[in-house]
Amino acid sequence: MCSRFVTNIPPEVLAAIFGLREVPQLEARFNVAPTQQVAVVRSEGDHNRLDLLKWGFVPGWSKDLSFGSHLINARSETVAEKPAFRHAIKYRRCIVPTSGFYEWSHSGDKKQPYYIQLADHSPMCLAGVWEAWKAPDNSVLESFAILTTAANSLVEPLHDRMPVILHPDDYSLWLNHNMHDPQQLQPLFRPFPVAEMIAHQVPDLVNNPRFDSPACIRQV
């Protein structure tokens, strides 16, 4: 599962990784939570662009916004079969650039948060799908969900699921808007190699989604 993450990536680094035509103006965020606006990368024609979408997937056929509060993640094993996601996985894929994500261990009533990132501290780019929902007043809401897979041995003691983390070599395939065969994406859904990831305990400040500060990722 992925329900909270960090986006502390220099804008010029994002521009270089994804070939963005403009360097985005983004503030570092240390406690990104569902329902918030989040920067995601999408393909448009022959180039990529960075857009702000709401985290919480609302299918195009939904009667209202109620789906968005629940569909923050999509299971990679069934994403091509579920009515909410089967169109998006073919035609509307995106990448969610992060610095890392949080997960919690549980001991009685105590929840201990951990911050999980790549060992080399490079951007951790997550596989996502997005959708456009039209309201009765014809306004459009664009939203997304993050794909998950089975946890590797680093994450498994905390949770049995983890986000699908894309290798840089796979970015172009994931964003290729001319590739509509979900079967070709299956190899990308494997758990990320545990040797390339690290984790440490952080303060319980992150338990409050209204708190957003570098203190959230401080090792304790």
Does the active-site annotation cover 2?
yes
Cα-based distances in Å from 40 to 45, 94, 103, 112, 198: 16, 6, 21, 28, 24
- The answer to whether residues 127 and 146 touch, using CB atoms and an 8 Å cutoff, is yes
- The answer to whether residues 24 and 13 touch, using CB atoms and an 8 Å cutoff, is no
Indicate the pairing of strand 197-201 with strand 110-118: antiparallel
Given 3-state DSSP classes, what are the helix, strand and coil percentages for the chain, each rounded to the nearest 5? 20, 35, 45
Question: Residue 14: enclosing H or E segment and its boundaries?
Answer: helix 11-18
Give the type of residue at 164.
V
- The answer to whether residues 189 and 112 touch, using CB atoms and an 8 Å cutoff, is no
Choose, from 2, 94, 125, 216, the residue flagged as catalytic. 2
Choose, from 103, 125, 142, 216, the residue flagged as catalytic. 103
Does the active-site annotation cover 125?
no
Question: Residue 89: enclosing H or E segment and its boundaries?
Answer: helix 88-91
Q: Name the residues annotated as catalytic.
A: 2, 103
